[in-house]
Structure 1
Amino acid sequence: MEFLFAPFEVSFVLRALIAGVLAAVLCGCIGTWVVLRGLAFFGDAMSHGMLPGVAIAALLGGQLMIGAAVSALVMAAGITWVSRESKLSQDVGIGLLFVGMLAIGVVIVSHSQSFAVDLTGFLFGDVLGVRGQDLIILTVAACLGVLACILLHRPFLALAFDERKAATLGMRPGWAHIAMLMLTALAVVASFQVVGTLLVFGLLIGPPATACLLFDRVGAIMAAASVIGVFSCFFGLLVSWYAQTSAGATIALLTVLIFFAVLVARRVKSALQYFQHNENHYQ
């Protein structure tokens, strides 16, 4: 037991765990809709498309989170506009904005030799450097995200499974889709400065995808995704403490490994049930 909990007696590791738990709950709830709606590519694009806003905010001496929020809003609005105007698949707009926004950010970073934002920190964050104000921001974002998922459950559910049926029921799928994009942006923006874009995307996709393999009901998927995310944060921090590895990357890797472990376990279980069925049949 001391082996499990000794690292969390250190104050900055405990703050990192609290931040990870808040991010896991936020991303678990919102990430469920991202996975069910098929917006994983959008989540990835959003997590990297914030770089221009972060870069400009750093150059002007402003708040990085405000720059990230503006960049995320621009990207979400741009994706919606390109999809409507061009009549092409939404993936086309996401791909174009992803490349364009990321390229602008890299150009700004490469042009300024005295740039204040470390790209490594942007990608992997500094979960062990979490401050009290970061926890407050994550707490507010988590509460808003969970509340929005509860209030918008019916329109999101209709949108995720049948957009035309959602329109027939008067659920306004267009507005529901925009709200879903905004919630995705909320999760990414609120978490990136603490845990980095890599960990945000790992928590946004990994635990919900794993939960979808285990459960059918949306509420159960959200709860399981949150639990898996918290588990990943706890043991990811534990492994990184003893193995001296990057905390954010270790947590993100663990979310992926858990998904493939469950996927393989499901396959093995199906194979065993198949052989058992055939054996009983021949007997």
Structure 2
Amino acid sequence: MTTMPETVVPDTGPADVPPVPSGGVRWALVDGWTLTRRAVAHWVRDPAPVVFSLVFGVLIVLMFGYLFGGAMRVPDGGEYREFLMPGMFTMTMLFGVGHTAQAVTADLDRGVIDRFRAMPMSSAAVLIGRAVADLLLSAVSLAVMVGVGLLVGWAATGSAGEFAAAIGLILLLRFALSWVGVYLGLVLTGPSAVFGAQTLEFPVAFLSSALVATGTMPAWLGVIADWNPLSSTATATRDLFGNPGVGGEAWVTQNAVLMAVVWPVALLLVFFPLSVHAFRGLRG
């Protein structure tokens, strides 16, 4: 009886392993969106971070609007709550930096990022997914704060287009600041990442025009506050919303809408590549 020679089939590995992507913007966006949905699914199962973010925004509006509002002065004599709300919208975008750093650090500590790095996906996708997910959370938080602002007497008197532009500038700043949080979460491991981010948040927030007009500060301090990226976004949105307290003689104040775009773009150009470089340099 003749035995047929056995055909040797080369081992190509498991059939369900996807091919390694060739890279590029498309892969980064597709993989990033997948990881964005992962973060949203986690929030659905554990809504505590979302609830805390929403409650924090409401409490800080009520605290500054009612507890401290009577002691605040708006340069042109306008209503302080109308002056406050655009600055408050802007300031809460900064307070999301610590949340982003904490989420990145948690994924590092649990080994989640190491597993992602072993998969055939874009190097930037993990980071893009985190930044976009936090942007979506911030959009929900901002919507709640707008509603609270309307309840406490704030009103936007600009056109619908100006209102949309103001919201866009606020979220653009949040997206740029997300990359600051991502970078801090990658390079400052453990509790120091969150502590470092939160330590930066309050001085940067208070040294701006978010809560008080820079004209009421000492001259040298007002110059520093005017050049704070938060001040540009707060001033630009006050202008677009039609709220009081926009005035200022500094060039950066007179061109606040322009600078509200320039500052976030500059932050993205610096911290996006830094974050990708730090991610690739993680020890596997």
Structure possessing the higher radius of gyration over alpha carbons: 2
**Bigger share in helix:** 1
TM over 0.5, yes or no? no
TM-score (norm 2): 0.31
Normalising by structure 1, what TM-score?
Answer: 0.31
